[in-house]
Structure 1
Amino acid sequence: MGSGEEDTGGGGGAVRGAVLKALVVVGGVLLLRRLRRSTTRWDHARAVADALSGEKFSREQARKDPDNYFNLRMLTCPATEMVDGSRVLYFEQAFWRTPEKPFRQRFYMVKPCPKEMKCDVELSSYAIRDAEEYKNFCDRSKDQRPQPEEVIADIAEHLTTIHLSRCGRGKRCLYEGSTPPEGFPNNWSGASYCTSDLSIHKNGEVHIWDKGFDIEGNQVWGTKAGPYEFKPAPKSKYDDMFSPLNFSAPLSLEKKLDKAYVIDDQ
């Protein structure tokens, strides 16, 4: 009787051991498959769209270098999705003291780069047919916004396209890219064409450097010191966008529009 019980216990342990080994093997195979699964073109596009979305400020730059940078609020959120899967984002910028009065409004269209190009994400900006109707789009409840079909109808002329690539190992950024060297047509404030550089960082920052040049290649608007660095607002602020943002920046910043930043470039 005792011997029989001992044999049964030993057999049960062997079975449990075999099952455990099988689970480990299966788990290892699944993990290996997951690690080997390559990031798709649409994964990159979704990552860029998600990184651009939210409320971000150039507060720190304005404090450190008020002669070259304003404290601006950048706000981006999903507007609709195209049939091909491209994401359309609504984008606006305003001075932090007057977020209800954006001076720049755009639609961003985010999609994978064409297969023949050596980049990951194509980010195009478009004018808005009736920009006044879209002011504070992200701050409104969904039933108070223009609906998806209206958004598509209100996508106006193409402005710029930036081709973004995944940053190499060791860099602070996740994606970076720029417009072609020749830029895109732009006639604001004496410009003949404009260029844009964009980088998305691991900490949620978005760096944007927009510049305008005359026909001879002289820069006529945009910062010369470097890109604007927009850093994410605390989540509590984004959850309650209607609450006042009590940042201590000089009032004079908003009055010193000496072409350091484009206020109405299109």
Structure 2
Amino acid sequence: MRSLLFLSLLFVTISCNTKIEHDSPISDFTKNLIGKFSSKNQANKDSGYASVHLVNIPIWEDRQGHWFYQELYDEKDNSSIYNQRILNVQKLDSLTISSTSYVIPNQEKYVNAWRDISIFNHLTPDSLKIRDGCDVYFKKKTSTIYHGKTKNGTCSSTFSKKISYTTSNVVISKNKITSWDRGYDINGKQVWGKIQGPYKFIRLDED
């Protein structure tokens, strides 16, 4: 299940951040990411993939920048957490948008925090630990599709001595997010992550 680390990454967003204008270049990108997504359809077809929910929600709308809380949890038990991250989304230039991910201190306090984001009012950006070298850089491929990836060899691993670095490839579209995280040893051989392809998260209807 650690192959869900990315998405960690992951994969970045907003539709209700009042600081972003409707026609802002970053708005179209971020509104595709915000919401709740599920890999249930993929898991039903391939037992090699788990049924996981992915939630991206904007936080700190009164602070500078575009910040989001991301959580992945087991579809059958929302207390079984695969990954938690804080994401910061920035427009680097006319063609590139970046997503920087941060480790949350005392993560257990923020389990299912997407239910009530006011809990993040007590958390400050300077208390977060940046995942150096793990930024995901996105380019617009069509009017509604963005493809992002990490730089090769820069995102070091902390959970296994066998893994020298990890890579993430993320595609964000209107109703779907795919994330493919892989780990490589010092010789560039893949030693972690899915071989077949990425996790596929389909947008869920709002409750």
Q: TM-score, length-normalised on structure 2?
A: 0.80
* Equivalences, count: 184
Task: Give ranges in structure 2 of 5+ residues lacking alignment.
Answer: 1-20
Shift of 1:120: 2.4
Residues 121, 66 of structure 1: alpha-carbon distance in 2 compared, 3 angstrom cutoff = same
Query: What amino acid does structure 2 have at the position aligned with 1:55?
Result: K
What is the distance in 1 between the residues matched to 2:73 and 2:24?
30
Secondary structure, counterpart of 1:103 in structure 2:
strand
1:154 matched to 2:127? The reply is: yes
1:77 matched to 2:52? The reply is: no
Query: Which is higher, the Rg of structure 1 or of structure 2?
Result: 1
Query: What amino acid does structure 1 have at the position aligned with 2:28?
Result: A
What is the distance in 2 between the residues matched to 1:165 and 1:109?
16
Q: Any conservation in 1 of the 2:81–2:111 contact (CA below 8 Å)?
A: yes
Which residue does the alignment assign to 1:188? 159
Query: What amino acid does structure 2 have at the position aligned with 1:131?
Result: Q
What is the distance in 2 between the residues matched to 1:73 and 1:182?
28
What is the distance in 2 between the residues matched to 1:157 and 1:168?
30
Cα RMSD (Å): 2.2
Q: TM-score, length-normalised on structure 1?
A: 0.63
Q: Any conservation in 1 of the 2:70–2:84 contact (CA below 8 Å)?
A: yes
Which residue does the alignment assign to 1:166? 140
Identity value in percent: 24
Query: What amino acid does structure 2 have at the position aligned with 1:46?
Result: S
Which residue does the alignment assign to 2:25? 44
Q: Which runs of 4+ in 1 moved over 3 A?
A: none
Q: Which has the higher helix share?
A: 1
Task: Give ranges in structure 1 of 5+ residues lacking alignment.
Answer: 1-39, 237-266
What is the distance in 2 between the residues matched to 1:125 and 1:108?
5
1:125 matched to 2:101? The reply is: yes
Shift of 1:229: 0.7
Shift of 1:156: 1.4
Which residue does the alignment assign to 1:91? 70
Q: Which has the higher strand share?
A: 2
Shift of 1:82: 7.7
What is the distance in 1 between the residues matched to 2:163 and 2:71?
22
Residues 81, 152 of structure 1: alpha-carbon distance in 2 compared, 3 angstrom cutoff = farther
Indicate the structure whose relative CO is greater, using CA pairs within 8 Å and at least 6 residues apart: 2
